[in-house]
Structure 1
Amino acid sequence: SDRIGRKQPIVWGMWLCGTGVALVLMGKGELWWSFAAAVMGFGMALLYPTLSAAVSDIAHPNWRGSAIGIYRFWRDLGYGIGALLLGAVAALFGGIEAGFWFTAVAMFISGLIVLLVCEETHPRLNPASD
């Protein structure tokens, strides 16, 4: 993301993670699920560190540590809320598969929102962000 910017790795990371989640439901067996996990892992490798870099890009240097802490608070809170929501979706719609589909769709939509709404945050690629 230091060379190509933050936005594209975030978008593609979201979409690859969503694809991997959906792939879990589309096949059976350890080999298939390992492939799905690899797709998710590659997406997460694009996404996870790049989100922190984007937060660092937009935070003033004096406040950067606090900004990362706040970002991580909300991200980690999302893990807990997401698990509860996954259970609720599964209970309401008759199975864990619904939770997987919900997660995959949410990741695709999140990537689309980043693509359409968010600006590039890398200071070299978007000097206006300084």
Structure 2
Amino acid sequence: MPPDPFAGDPDDPARLVEPDEDEVPPMSADERAELLGDLADLAVYQALLEPRGVRGIVVDCAECEEPHYHDWALLAASLEQLLHDGRMRPHEPAFDPDPVSYVSWEYCRGYADGVTASENAH
């Protein structure tokens, strides 16, 4: 991300919107392990599905009740930011995504399990 032009400014207008760095509770060891597992899984899913034309993952948002489309790189960057900063910053949604190019996390997991089962059967 580009540098914050208000970094260190006590009158930073973002302080009204975003919590102070000190206000973010530390991540537990279990949460950190789960996030590292998600990042590892994401890399596998991308390696398996990107060559097949899948651009990323779709997540149904409970807040706005709309699907959110995340390209592989954007989702990985968001998860890495959560790992390092304890929170994800807002990002721009995908521009005019083609829904058929995105699959759910559950689909990815099932696909990877199917590939693993098929390879182990041989």
User: Do the structures match in fold with TM over 0.5?
Assistant: no
Q: Which has the larger radius of gyration?
A: 2
More strand by share: 2
The alignment's TM-score, normalised by the length of structure 2, stands at: 0.30
The alignment's TM-score, normalised by the length of structure 1, stands at: 0.29
More helix by share: 1
